[in-house]
Structures are given as C-alpha cells and as structure tokens.
C-alpha cells in the first residue's frame, strides 16, 4: 500500500488506520490524533462500560456524573490504566443549562470532540397513566428527553464549526419498541429519542455527522438493572439467548457505531437485547404480566381514585 499521506487521500488514511484496531486518525501534517469522546452518566453500569470500552479502542474520554463521585473516580482510574485521558465533570443534566455547560467543559478539556454518547437518564419512570402528575412527567422529560436533545445540539455545533465528521449516539432501550402497561413515560421518551434521531441523522448528514441509537435490553448491573436470569428461570427461558447482557456488550456496540467501519450507518437503532422483544416476552421476574395482574390493577385504580378525590376536595375549597 502507498505511504500514508502521499498517494492516498485523507479519508482513505483514516479508514486504513481504523482497521489497525486504533482510533487515531491522521491530520493534514501526517501526525496522529487521538479520538475524543463525551459519555454522559459514565460513573456506573452501562455508561461506565461504554467509557472503558472506548478507552480500549483508543479514545480519550470525558464523563459526567450526578451523585456517584466514587463511581466516576473508578471509571477515571480504569480509563487511565489503559493509557488514555479521562476528565470527570459533575452535572445535573436535568437543568436547562447543564448540557451546554458539560459539552463546553468536555470540548475544552479534550481539545475537540469526535463522539458524544448521551447515556445519563432516570430509569425509574414506571407507573400507570391513571396516576400521572405534572411533576412526575416534567422530571423525567428534563433528563430523559430534553437533556439528550440539548447535549446533541451543543455537540453538533462544535463538530460543524471544526469540520469534524463526528458521531452522536443515544442510549435508548428495547422498551422504545415494546409496550408495557406501566411504561407510557420512560418507554415513550425512549421511543421519542429514536424518532428524533432519525430526523437529526438527515439534518446533520451534509456535515458528515452520523446519529444513531443503541437500545439495550436486559442488562446485568452491579447495582440494579436486570437480575441474574439464573435466579429467575422465567427470564432465562424468556430471553432467546437465555442470559442477560453486559455493560461491555453495550460498549462494544457503541464503539462499532462510532467507528469508520460503520461509516455508512446513520439514523438507526441497534438493539443489544439477546432477542428479548422478538417473541413478545412479558417483562418481569414472574410469568404474570401486569395487564392481567388483578393486584396491580386494583392498586393502580385505588391510587387514581384517591388522587381524584383529593383533587375534587381542593376544587371545593
């Protein structure tokens, strides 16, 4: 093959070195540059797995955390042990100005931005529509939807200005495509992000910026998430690949979509779920689904009627 930077163009040089297993590209002077990534919510579980895998692939990373300072430090040490840089920023991304501030901090610390992974989210938004409140909806909207859009917006402006054919990735969920009766809000926002991703992919393609989603399913986590299927045979039998996934496997999916090998892929959602939603698996630890669980239905109705009664009393004051 011809010497890099002599008889082949810049694009071919980048592809050639990406195949060497690194994420270092050449600038116009023939010098190597490390790729730079921002991962929100990088202090634990899936976000931590993504940050470590990206470091293994040659990325310097910046991560955010809300309250898990110890986890963020753990991530930093793991990344630096791989010979890469890791910058840590505390942020409450549900605040309107936080996404722009975090992107500014990451960009300045890394001296650029090639990849943004929007991962920070609140996974607890389950409940019946009968008991919906403005506070419940607004709190989840701020972190699980608005935060993703504002982080992508701020990141893309830097990429466009710098002429960087960057990548923006959203961590969504298999629940974006599979409906459950107590999941109108969390799953609904994840579905909304996937639809927004498609429009962003078209919007930003003229700048060479690709936008995709990674949708995890049942992922084992140290402090929550999917329980061990060995302890719950219903899960093991219900997931076609008969196990839960890992944060590393989500990280590998992110690394692939960020790579040159995925350079012709934009506007998609890549599920990492072991085939979970293909057969229409009922979600839960037991084989009783909520839509015919009379105890759950009775509880939801009682809460809703109490809300309505209290509301009527307030109206009469």
| Same domain assignment for residues 68 and 131 | yes
| Same domain assignment for residues 239 and 252 | yes
Query: What was the pLDDT predicted at 20?
Result: 41
| Same domain assignment for residues 139 and 7 | no
Assess contact for 170 and 148: CB atoms under 8 A: yes
pTM over 0.75: yes
Q: Which two tokens stand for residue 215?
A: 């949708």
| Same domain assignment for residues 104 and 20 | no
Query: What was the pLDDT predicted at 151?
Result: 98
Query: What was the pLDDT predicted at 33?
Result: 58
| Same domain assignment for residues 170 and 274 | yes
Residue of 216, 213, 222, 208 lying closest to 44 (CA atoms): 222
| Same domain assignment for residues 152 and 294 | no
Domain that holds residue 115: 35-286
| Same domain assignment for residues 17 and 62 | no
| Same domain assignment for residues 95 and 9 | no
| pLDDT by residue, tens only, the chain of 317 residues | 333 333 333 333 333 333 344 455 544 433 345 799 999 999 989 999 999 999 999 999 999 999 999 999 999 999 999 999 999 999 999 999 999 999 999 999 999 999 999 999 988 878 899 999 999 999 999 999 999 999 999 999 999 999 999 999 999 999 999 888 889 999 999 999 999 999 999 999 999 999 999 999 988 877 665 666 667 776 777 788 888 889 999 999 999 999 999 999 999 999 999 998 887 655 555 555 555 567 777 888 888 888 888 888 888 88
3-state secondary structure of 173: coil
| Same domain assignment for residues 294 and 281 | no
| Same domain assignment for residues 160 and 255 | yes
3-state secondary structure of 82: coil
Place of tokens 């690194």: 22
In angstroms, rounded to a whole number, what is the distance separating the alpha carbons of residues 113 and 59? Answer: 11
| Same domain assignment for residues 49 and 18 | no
């Amino acid at each position: 093959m011809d010497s890099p930077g002599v008889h082949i163009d810049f694009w071919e040089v980048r592809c050639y070195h990406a195949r060497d297993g690194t994420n270092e590209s050449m600038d116009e002077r023939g010098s190597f540059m490390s790729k730079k990534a921002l991962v929100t919510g990088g202090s634990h579980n899936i976000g931590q797995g993504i940050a470590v895998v990206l470091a293994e692939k040659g990325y310097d990373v910046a991560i955010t955390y809300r309250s898990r300072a110890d986890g963020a430090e753990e991530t930093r040490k793991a990344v630096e042990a791989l010979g890469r840089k890791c910058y840590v920023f505390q942020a409450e991304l549900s605040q309107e100005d936080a996404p722009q501030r975090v992107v500014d901090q990451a960009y300045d610390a890394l001296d650029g931005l090639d990849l943004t992974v929007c991962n920070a989210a609140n996974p607890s938004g389950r409940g019946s529509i009968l008991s919906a409140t403005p506070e419940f909806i607004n709190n989840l909207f701020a972190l699980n939807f608005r935060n993703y859009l504002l982080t992508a917006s701020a990141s893309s402006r830097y990429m466009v200005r710098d002429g960087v054919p960057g990548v923006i990735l959203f961590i969504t969920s298999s629940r974006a495509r599979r409906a459950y009766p107590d999941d109108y809000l969390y799953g609904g926002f994840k579905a909304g992000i996937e639809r927004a991703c498609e429009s962003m992919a078209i919007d930003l393609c003229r700048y060479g910026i690709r936008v995709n989603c990674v949708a995890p399913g049942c992922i084992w986590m140290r402090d929550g998430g999917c329980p061990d299927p060995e302890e719950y045979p219903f899960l093991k039998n219900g997931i076609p690949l008969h196990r839960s996934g890992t944060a590393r496997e989500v990280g590998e999916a992110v690394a692939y979509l960020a790579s040159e090998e995925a350079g012709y892929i934009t506007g998609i959602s890549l599920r990492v779920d072991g085939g979970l939603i293909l057969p229409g698996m009922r979600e839960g630890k037991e084989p009783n689904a909520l839509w015919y669980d009379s105890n759950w239905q009775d509880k939801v109705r009682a809460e809703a009627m109490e809300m309505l009664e209290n509301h009527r009393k307030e109206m009469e004051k």
